[in-house]
Amino acid sequence: MSDPKPPRWLKPVNKLMIGLQKLGIPTGPPMVLTVPGRKSGQPRSTPMTPFTVDGQLYTVAGFPKADWALNARAAGAGMLRHGRSERPVRIVELSAEAARPVLRAFPVQVPVGARFLKQAGLVDKGTPDEVEALAGRIAVFRFDPAG
């Protein structure tokens, strides 16, 4: 299977969510991660829905080779914002093996994310087994407090 591309509507929706967050308006559970671009060094922001597994905060890239995930991997640190609340984080990418239990929890904790994976054609039904099988194909990151 080739790597799916994000739908055309995603960038405008992301820009809207980022704008609302900058105004201090939380957009539900999604947060905005800002990291330096891997080539330009300029700040790059993207909305995402972090979730907790065993007391740790994680996020999952919805597409293989997603630009934001490549930037996060290169940066290793960034700012996580929810409304007007902002905090520095270290960004740790998980190995495929370590990502498995996190991916298994993802469709239960972030059903909209599982639907996104289905729409992208990465999974058929979005079950925990299917999402866990994406380990090594899509990036999974843990956010640790910076400092």
Residues 98-127: pLDDT tens digits?
999 999 999 999 998 888 888 888 999 999
Domain boundaries, the chain: 10-145
The pTM is what?
Answer: 0.86
Burial of 9 (0-12, 13-18, 19+ CB in 10 A): exposed
Mean pLDDT of 2-12: 67
Residues 27-67: pLDDT tens digits?
777 888 999 999 999 999 988 889 999 999 999 998 888 89
Main-chain phi, psi angles of 14, to 5 degrees:
-60, -40
* Other Cβ atoms within 10 Å of 124 Cβ, number: 9
- DSSP-based three-state secondary structure for 34: strand
Tell me the CATH architecture of domain 10-145. Answer: Roll (2.30)
Please give the pLDDT value at position 2.
Answer: 55
